[in-house]
Amino acid sequence: METLEELINSIGEPDEAARRAAQTRWDAIAKPLGSLGLLESAVADIAALRGDADVHFAKRTLVVFCADNGVVRQGVTQCGSEVTARVAAALAEGRSTVSLMARAAGCEVLPADMGMLDFPGHPGVLDLRVQNGTGDISQGPAMTREACLRAVLAGAALAKRLAREGTDVLLLGEMGIGNTTTAAAVTAALLSLSLEAVCGRGAGLSDAGLARKRQAVARALACNTPDPADAIDVLAKVGGLDIAALCGAFLGAASARVPAVIDGVISAAAALCACRLCPRARAAMLASHVSSEPAAAVLLETLKLRAPISAQMHLGEGSGAVALLPLLDLALSVYRSGQSFDKLGIAAYVPQN
């Protein structure tokens, strides 16, 4: 397996000539200039990433990284860690909520076990286990730095493998009870934000549960003192195996020049870690939606990404990323149509000052 340094060094810059070619193609289509907004920008960004204005999404793959978090012991969730494994099995069997959405969007779903608690394995769940869950971040580090690096590199290797196998767009989601707490801690550490700014109700916490969550994040930051200048240190101390793998997958997708779609707040926290490790990785990232979790908007703003969807979603599992696919399909139906102004017999639009 390649090293983190080798992975980072393999990530190139976007092809601005391909971006201009894509924009020229958009501007030649019989519609007002820029009228599809962020969808036009997304297609141009993908063209720049791929170095080719001929954008297509023949094969789409959603990877859901699954792992358990020791901080669940602090009462920061509505359900127990056993739910992670149950949802992972449902993902493999095509029965989970996002599986139904993905089927409608023509997207394959691949759950990957990074460290579910006492998970015996299940047909269809990819085994990338690093360890048996993480430590309670409110009492000490989630994992060692070595374990964190293993998870990061495993996520990167999977993304690159899927790219070699023909995936045109990679959607990155997660499943792990307690991971809105770890994502909140990672975000607070990286951006020096208040507990109120990063801690939301997750899958439906009560006021008392939200207070426990904020207290757990506060204790995690105090006892671990993660270094905001070192994303691996932050992930190892207050993150989770799923977030670490997501971080690696964003880096791997960037290396393979495959667009990687950010899901919600957890995926966005991982994307920020990836950009802290290699700013060039941002060129591969597409935002899907603005989660209702409080840190979601600030994470996307920090990444300088704008999401086309604002639907107050907070399901997880990659559901927001999948919701973006039909919009991209609609945009590409126009982009690839060749429906020019000449064909419609109307004068072309020109930029106006």
Give residue-wise pLDDT tens across range 85-142: 999 999 999 999 999 999 999 999 999 999 999 999 999 999 999 999 999 999 999 9
For residue 67, the SS3 value is: strand
Query: Residue 343 pLDDT > 90, yes or no?
Result: no
* Residue found under tokens 């950010």: 262
CATH architecture of the region 4-54+335-344: Orthogonal Bundle (1.10)
Q: CA–CA separation, 88 vs 109, rounded Å?
A: 11
Is residue 223 classed exposed, middle or buried when 0-12, 13-18 and 19+ CB atoms within 10 A define those classes?
A: middle
Confidence class of residue 167 from pLDDT cuts 50, 70 and 90? very high
The CATH number, out of the four listed (3.40.50.720, 3.40.50.620, 3.40.50.170, 3.40.50.10210), of the domain defined by the range 60-331: 3.40.50.10210
Residue ranges per structural domain of the chain:
4-54+335-344, 60-331
Kindly report, residue by residue over 29-62, the tens digit of the pLDDT. 999 999 999 999 999 999 999 999 999 999 999 9
DSSP β-ladder status, 107-115 and 260-262: unpaired
Residue in 8, 19, 13, 84 with CA at minimum distance from that of residue 45: 19
At 333, the pLDDT band (50, 70, 90 cuts) reads very high
Q: Which of 149, 143, 142, 81 is nearest to 116 (CA)?
A: 81
Distances (CA, A) of 190 to 194, 217, 226, 325: 11, 13, 9, 30
Indicate the length of the chain as a whole number: 353
- Strands across the sheet with 260-262, in order? 126-127, 107-115, 60-67, 169-175, 260-262, 285-287
Mean pLDDT, rounded, of the chain: 95
Does residue 317 carry a catalytic annotation? yes
Q: Between vectors from CA 330 to CA 283 and to CA 272, what angle results, nearest 5°?
A: 25
